[in-house]
Structure 1
Amino acid sequence: MNDEKAIVVFSGGQDSTTCLFWALKTFKEVEVVTFDYNQRHAAEINCAKEIADELGVKQHILDMGLLNQLAPNALTRETIEVEDGEDGELPNTFVPGRNLVFLTFAGILGYQLGARHIITGVCETDFSGYPDCRDEFVKSLNVTLNLSMDHKFVIHTPLMWLNKAETWKMADDLNALEYVRTKTLTCYNGIKGDGCGTCPSCKLRLNGYKEFLKMNHMA
């Protein structure tokens, strides 16, 4: 395995794009893997392609249509409206097994490419209660991947303990703030950049950006 080669799990959103810039600064060789699971908006795949092309990074797009078939929810069905969870329940944007499947297939691809490092933008601090964004899940899967393929993968989670304002600060520190703000797609309604401003993802992103600007001004 190559200690200098990394694969970024890449959707073209704010978090994974920030992680891509982090990886480009940290590792000698970087490639990205994007998963097509017939998600709510094809624009997400197109956005990821555009960013990979602009940054000159090799992209692998894997067909994960089976995940769509197994997990009908607001991210896989346009007919289901995005809703927050109530009374402690998960929001209906949770796709069961998504990060488990994505990181497993990233590991399989990494094995084929000789890449040791896998980077994902999951975050326990500012997430929607998704169990597959937790640090203990990532660490557990890291051990399982290593045992399953007899290789020493390292799964990196640069955003794990950051809130959205701190994620914006990381992008700024990487000289990528305006790129991430204008070129990425995080909106559940498929609008690039600042998005629709009303869906849960846009609200989280915008509130974090405002908090970052406030922090930056105070500094």
Structure 2
Amino acid sequence: MMSPATDHSGGRALVVLSGGQDSTTCLYWALRRFDHVEAVTFDYGQRHRVELAAATRIAADAGVRQHLLPINTFSALGGNALTDVAMAPETGLRADGDSELPNTFVPGRNLIFLTFAAALAWQRQLDHLVVGVAQTDYSGYPDCRAPTLAALQQALTLGLDRAIAVHAPLMQLSKADTVRLAADVGALPALAHSHTCYHGAVPPCGECAACQLRARGFAEAGVEDPLVARCREEAACR
């Protein structure tokens, strides 16, 4: 697992780009670090489908080739608020110490994402995977933790018979630190077109946990959210 440093190290990388704040920051982190960068976006039946358009816009603006891969099994499984329209995403942030997983947890999502990303990387001769997970997030998703990614990196390397390095530059960062990193790598303009809201609302609903976590990070960093600024300045916010 790599630190959030942005020194150039060369190599070819594939970024898992959802269109959200964290993955957009990671895309620009990767552009500073690697010689060649591509992006992969997964259509997994998410209810906040506006993020797919956001990812496409962000990749195009960055001049990065984007691969869009469909994965409909999560939608068929249901049982979580991101793919099951019968469930509403939880509102508000959980209290510190609350170990219960929120209903936005999609079991195995990042495991599957990185496995498909590694398969694509193998075909494209890309040796590095970059993903915007962070174990400091309030949610505590088990597939966002450092030991999970370390084990998966080993499994992918063995299963593909090729060294695959998994980078999670945000792993130990707070949301405020992630905002500061975005500023350092030049990602703030791109964040004006990113999407975080679990309800798919533009402007952000401000009520779901994802919106509140994002807003708190920008507030603590003392930086105005470029998405909020854009929605204020553009009546249609498109």
TM-score, structure 1 normalization: 0.91
Q: Distance in 1 between matches of 2:137 and 2:108?
A: 19
Tell me the residue number matched to 1:167: 178
Tell me the residue number matched to 2:123: 112
Residue identity matched to 1:37? Y
Matched, 1:62 2:31: no
Structure 2 residue matching 1:60: 3-state secondary structure = strand
Tell me the residue number matched to 2:42: 35
Q: Distance in 1 between matches of 2:109 and 2:137?
A: 18
- 1:152-201 CA distance string (max 9 Å, x none): 10000000000000000001111222431x21101111134x61111100
Structure 1 residue matching 2:15: 3-state secondary structure = strand
Deviation at 1:83, TM superposition (A): 1.8
**Alignment counterpart, residue 199 of structure 1, candidates 203, 208, 216:** 208
Tell me the residue number matched to 1:138: 149
Structure 1 residue matching 2:183: 3-state secondary structure = helix
Q: Distance in 1 between matches of 2:139 and 2:166?
A: 21
**Alignment counterpart, residue 7 of structure 1, candidates 6, 10, 14:** 14
Structure 2 residue matching 1:61: 3-state secondary structure = strand
Matched, 1:50 2:60: no
Number of residues of Structure 1 aligned to a counterpart in Structure 2? 210
Structure 1 residue matching 2:222: 3-state secondary structure = helix
Q: Distance in 2 between matches of 1:71 and 1:109?
A: 26
Q: Distance in 2 between matches of 1:71 and 1:100?
A: 17
For CA contacts below 8 A with separation 6 or more, give which structure has more relative contact order.
2
Deviation at 1:18, TM superposition (A): 0.1
Structure 1 stretch 126-135 or stretch 148-157: which is displaced more? 126-135
Deviation at 1:134, TM superposition (A): 0.3
Q: Indicate if the aligned counterparts of 1:6 and 1:116 stay in contact, CA closer than 8 A.
A: yes
Q: Indicate if the aligned counterparts of 2:89 and 2:199 stay in contact, CA closer than 8 A.
A: no
TM-score, structure 2 normalization: 0.84
Matched, 1:102 2:113: yes
Give the % identical residues.
Answer: 49
More helix per residue: 1
Tell me the residue number matched to 1:155: 166
Q: Distance in 2 between matches of 1:110 and 1:56?
A: 18
Root-mean-square deviation (CA, aligned residues, Å) is 1.6
Deviation at 1:68, TM superposition (A): 1.5
Q: Distance in 1 between matches of 2:28 and 2:12?
A: 14
